[in-house]
């Protein structure tokens, strides 16, 4: 995997879409995991300090020892870390908005068998800013054309599938989301753009380094498929200097 940053305590990589962070009973058939791949690549143990969903690409941070992992997890539990995502969603959204909508924990029958199904919804806040829109002359569903927005998204909390669930909640699901998305628009992107992945990417991570005190700003480029789709939608100029 491409290394975005590395020092004596931490290493950040650009996780590809479709790669699990670590082994999971949910995907028993999978044989490739970011933890094992990076361990083999560096020749040492690594400790993930946060997670990205399997279909989400982008910045993934690991600690290089247990103490660094504890220090960094404390940073993630606080309110000083800033995470930035880029998403293509169905429809034309507002220019900016804050989605403040509590989420009940999503439970998996295999991995969360002992979890409390009656646990109350937890606070969840997501902010976004619209970067661009497009309307294409293709009928998808009952409308003669289809509309999409490009969003910069900043979650303020870290609930499971938070961004994907919040975008569904405001009726602007992320393109390529097979769980919380719109199948008709997913099919359109597969057929028209040859895009078979979730168009959600973790593009930036900003935090204060727990050892040096320096502000860290780690960025990940869009992968080739995402970048191509952005260009074909007419938004390539937004990333010409990145």
Residue 220: Cβ-neighbour burial (10 angstroms; 0-12, 13-18, 19+): buried
Strands 200-208 and 82-90: antiparallel
Q: Which helix (H) or strand (E) holds 169?
A: helix 162-169
Residue 221: Cβ-neighbour burial (10 angstroms; 0-12, 13-18, 19+): middle
Q: How many residues does this entry show for the chain?
A: 242
- The active-site residue, picked from 14, 53, 177, 182, is 53
Strands 200-208 and 57-63: parallel
Q: Scanning the structure block, which residue is given the tokens 């590395």?
A: 6
The three-state (H, E, C) secondary structure of 83-131, written as one string: EEEEEEEECCCCCEEEEECCECCCCCCCCCCCCCCCCCCECCEEEEEEE
Residue 1: Cβ-neighbour burial (10 angstroms; 0-12, 13-18, 19+): middle
Q: Which helix (H) or strand (E) holds 189?
A: helix 183-193
Rounded Cα distance between 204 and 155, Å, is 12
Rounded Cα distance between 88 and 58, Å, is 15
For this structure, is 53 an active site residue?
Answer: yes
Residues with catalytic function: 53
């Amino acid at each position: 995997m491409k290394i975005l940053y590395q020092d004596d305590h931490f290493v950040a990589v650009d996780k590809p879409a479709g790669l699990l962070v670590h082994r999971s009973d949910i995907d028993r058939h999978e044989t490739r995991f970011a933890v094992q791949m990076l361990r083999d690549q560096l020749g040492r143990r690594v400790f993930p300090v946060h997670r990205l969903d399997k279909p989400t690409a982008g910045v993934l941070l690991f600690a290089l020892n247990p103490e660094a992992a504890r220090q960094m997890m404390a940073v993630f539990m606080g309110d000083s870390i800033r995470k930035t995502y880029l998403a293509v969603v169905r429809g034309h959204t507002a220019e900016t908005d804050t989605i403040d909508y509590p989420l009940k924990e999503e439970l998996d029958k295999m991995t969360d068998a002992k979890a409390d199904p009656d646990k109350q919804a937890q606070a969840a806040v997501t902010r976004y800013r619209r970067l661009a829109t497009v309307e294409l002359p293709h009928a998808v569903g009952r409308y003669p054309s289809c509309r999409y927005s490009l969003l910069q998204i900043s979650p303020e909390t870290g609930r499971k599938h938070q961004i994907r669930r919040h975008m569904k909640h405001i009726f602007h699901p992320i393109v390529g989301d097979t769980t919380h998305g719109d199948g008709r628009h997913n099919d359109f992107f597969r057929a028209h753009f040859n895009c078979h992945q979730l168009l959600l990417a973790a593009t930036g991570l900003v935090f204060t380094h727990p050892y040096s005190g320096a502000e860290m700003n780690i960025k990940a480029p869009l992968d080739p498929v995402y970048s191509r789709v952005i260009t074909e939608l007419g938004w390539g100029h937004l990333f010409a200097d990145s």
